[in-house]
């Protein structure tokens, strides 16, 4: 039996699929066939693909004919000999970068596999599932945690040396939080369920009920509470696979890329055209001053 192509979904089918994504954290479709333009168009049926946050964008990895799509590969791309992120192992993160809750518009990341590497594993940690497994006492503790995110010495890379070896993020624009904080436990704008928004790669400061926390100890607690097999799904993306992840519900990491054949077409978009407005998004973020 043939598998239905996403671009052939009716509006009702697409709405059901995206509500499943908002509820479960991801959907994975096999045997999909897109041109770059078709991938952008089906992403736009779901939501806006235009980055509104001034900290985002990897322009040399965005083809001129489809600028809303990024090429993730170790192949030479633009002026970069190693492509976007290079072959490095990437630590658990979501794609909001240093953005706090409500500061990021594109809640969804779509990864369409054009070329595969059988040795590269993409791991998806569902933080909502992990939070639901916690005891009521543990949940209440996390509800009292606030964090502040900023760019660190190595970001999503394992070491500063790895970060500095990869030129793909040179000139990457970020803004800096000063007094702003975000709650770790928030409410998903489309399901009204509690979510656990965690970004260890960019954790700068943290508090529990206004008392400062040691961020390294907090990271250890996160690993103890959430880094468990029942919360993690591992994928090897193969040609034709299309993975859509909700960045409010999941963290992802990638093992080393050992084959130059691996090519992922990435789109970032929101739910607004299929599920309606994002009630948590703050458009004032678009006025933030960008710093390098």
CATH of domain 6-275: 3.60.130.10
DSSP-assigned states of every residue in 45-111: HHS--S--STT---GGGS-TT-TTEEEEESS-BTTBTT-SSTT--EEEE-TTTTPPTTS----EEEE
Distances 27 to 74, 126, 139, 143, 179 between C-alpha atoms, Å:
25, 12, 26, 28, 36
Question: In 3D, which of 34, 6, 31, 32 has the Cα closest to residue 21?
Answer: 6
- pLDDT of 189 > 50? The answer is yes
pLDDT in tens, 82-107: 667 777 888 899 998 888 999 988 99
pLDDT in tens, 219-228: 999 988 888 9
CB-based contact 58:172 (threshold 8 Å): yes
Please tell me the number of Cα atoms within 13 Å of 278 on its side-chain side: 23
Give the 3-state secondary structure of residue 29.
strand
Residue 292: its pLDDT value, please?
45
pTM above 0.95, yes or no: no
**CA–CA dist 216, 141 (Å, integer):** 17
Query: Stretch 121-125: mean pLDDT, rounded?
Result: 95
CB-based contact 67:57 (threshold 8 Å): no
DSSP-assigned states of every residue in 198-232: --GGGEEEEEETTEE--HHHHHHHHHHHH-SGGGE
Percent of the chain whose pLDDT exceeds 90 = 62
E strand spans, 116-228: 122-126, 145-149, 182-183, 185-187, 194-196, 203-208, 211-212
**CA–CA dist 146, 144 (Å, integer):** 7
- pLDDT of 31 > 60? The answer is yes
Lowest mean pLDDT among 19-28, 75-84, 193-202, 264-273: 75-84
Distances 154 to 26, 200, 271 between C-alpha atoms, Å:
27, 12, 31
Question: In 3D, which of 15, 51, 48, 17 has the Cα closest to residue 32?
Answer: 17
- pLDDT of 265 > 50? The answer is yes
Question: In 3D, which of 107, 73, 76 has the Cα closest to residue 88?
Answer: 73
CA-based R_g, the chain, Å:
18
Burial of residue 63 (number of CB atoms within 10 Å: 0-12, 13-18, 19+): middle
pLDDT in tens, 61-79: 788 888 899 888 877 676 6
**CA–CA dist 174, 176 (Å, integer):** 7
């Amino acid at each position: 039996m043939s598998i239905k192509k996403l671009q052939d979904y009716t509006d009702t089918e697409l709405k059901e699929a995206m509500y499943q994504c908002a509820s479960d954290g991801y959907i994975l479709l096999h045997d999909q066939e897109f041109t770059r333009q078709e991938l952008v168009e089906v992403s736009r049926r779901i939501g806006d693909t235009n980055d509104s946050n001034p900290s985002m964008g990897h322009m040399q990895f965005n083809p001129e004919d489809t600028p809303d799509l990024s090429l993730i590969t170790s192949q030479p791309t633009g002026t970069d000999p190693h492509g976007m992120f290079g072959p490095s192992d990437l630590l658990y993160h979501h794609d909001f970068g240093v953005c706090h809750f409500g500061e990021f518009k594109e809640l969804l990341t779509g990864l369409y596999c054009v070329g595969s590497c059988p040795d590269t594993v993409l791991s998806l940690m569902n933080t909502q599932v992990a939070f639901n497994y916690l005891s009521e006492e543990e949940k209440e503790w996390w509800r009292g945690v606030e964090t502040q995110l900023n760019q660190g010495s190595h970001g999503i890379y394992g070491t500063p040396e790895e970060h500095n070896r990869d030129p793909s993020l040179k000139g990457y624009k970020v803004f800096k939080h000063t007094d702003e904080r975000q709650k770790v436990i928030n409410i998903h704008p489309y399901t009204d369920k509690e979510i656990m928004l965690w970004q260890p790669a960019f954790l700068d400061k943290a508090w529990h009920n206004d008392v400062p926390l040691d961020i390294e100890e907090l990271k250890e607690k996160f690993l103890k509470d959430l880094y468990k097999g029942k919360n993690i799904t591992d994928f090897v993306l193969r040609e034709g696979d299309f993975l859509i992840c909700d960045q409010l519900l999941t963290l992802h990491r990638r093992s080393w890329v050992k084959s130059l054949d691996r090519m992922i077409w990435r789109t970032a978009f929101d739910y607004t055209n299929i599920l309606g407005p994002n009630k948590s998004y703050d458009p004032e973020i678009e006025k933030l001053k960008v710093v390098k």
